[in-house]
Amino acid sequence: MKNKNEYKKILIVDDEEDLTWSISRRLSRDNDNIKVMCANSGKNALDILSNNEIDLLITDLRMPEINGWDLLNKVKKEYPQTLVIVMTAHGSIEVIDALNRWGKAGYIEKPFDMNDLRKLVYVFLKEKDKSK
């Protein structure tokens, strides 16, 4: 059995539970070196971040209460080692420019092909794709 420190930890944040579940299931099934956690609100994500060392945050931008931008700013300030991929159905040049100014962040527009997200995750984690 693997030591828990050998896992790459991913936190998926979206207010659509079906989406977080689908992404979690796909990433967990593809690679046993990945541990996936899900949050369906920015508040829940901050609770998870405060209790876990997260390698990669995958978040939506539009969510109730704490939106994705507020979450990103908190992560940058308090968890600067955490990598970020933003997924949004409301993409625009302005969003891409804001992410470029924010710092190194991946970007994928909804709806997306799960394989495209998976490849982006592996690039960010520098993990070999074990699903092939």
pTM: 0.89
Residues in the chain, how many?
A: 132
Domain boundaries 16-64+79-125, corresponding CATH code: 3.40.50.2300
3-state SS, residue 41? coil
Burial of 110 (0-12, 13-18, 19+ CB in 10 A): middle
Q: Which two tokens stand for residue 112?
A: 């997306």
- Kindly calculate the radius of gyration of the chain based on its CA atoms and give it in whole angstroms: 14
The answer to whether 106 and 120 have CB atoms below 8 angstroms apart is yes
Give the span between the Cα atoms of 95 and 62, in whole angstroms. Answer: 12
- Determine the residue type at 35: K
Helix-helix angle 93-102:68-78, to 10 degrees:
10
Give the span between the Cα atoms of 21 and 89, in whole angstroms. Answer: 18
By C-alpha distance, which of 38, 33, 8, 9 is closest to 23? 38
Per residue in 2-30, pLDDT tens? 455 578 999 999 999 999 999 999 999 88
Per residue in 70-126, pLDDT tens? 999 999 999 999 999 999 998 788 888 888 888 878 999 999 999 999 999 999 998
**So where are the chain's domains?**
16-64+79-125
Q: Which two tokens stand for residue 69?
A: 């931008």
